[in-house]
Amino acid sequence: MRTKLQIVAFAVSLLFTFQAQAQTGAAAFPKGELSTDTHHTGHIWLNELNVGDSTFDSSIAVATYDAGAKLNWHIHPGGQVLLITEGAGYYQERGKPVRIVHKGDVIKCAPGVEHWHGALPNSSFAYIAVTPTQKGKTIWLEPVRDKDYKSLK
């Protein structure tokens, strides 16, 4: 229980840091490394702030997307919380309508739920992802098809 409270406290402190940095125009964390894996389209940068371990089991990362970039469908066995820090993007759970999300939104994806997220065609997109890892790593699925979100383009 104490570990979960520490993770929540850390995530809240990150959010306040981002809000303070937004007022000055400076980024709270560097963009990170350009992703070279095959589980997305477009350019996405990833900055791992915490790798889950036996003390703090959640992975915490900043993801920054170029306009139009998106992840494939995927599953987080332990769930995921996204704190949207910049821009606007899509979020969709399998079988549900796609949603447009904006800076300041908090997305909670339950464990085992197939979903995807990505930037709108005309906006960059960034978030802090808090992903518990004790139940396993991300399970990658097929790419998102245009018809999955065509009505919102």
Spell out the domains of the chain, with CATH numbers in brackets.
2-152 (2.60.120.10)
pLDDT of residue 21: 47
Q: Are 91 and 98 in contact (CB under 8 A)?
A: yes
The arithmetic mean of pLDDT across residues 22-34, rounded, is 69
The more confident residue out of 38 and 79 is 79
Q: Are 112 and 53 in contact (CB under 8 A)?
A: no
- pTM score of the predicted model: 0.78
Among 65-69, 137-141, 148-152, which stretch is predicted with the lowest mean pLDDT? Answer: 148-152
User: Burial, 60: exposed, middle or buried (Cβ in 10 Å; 0-12, 13-18, 19+)?
Assistant: buried
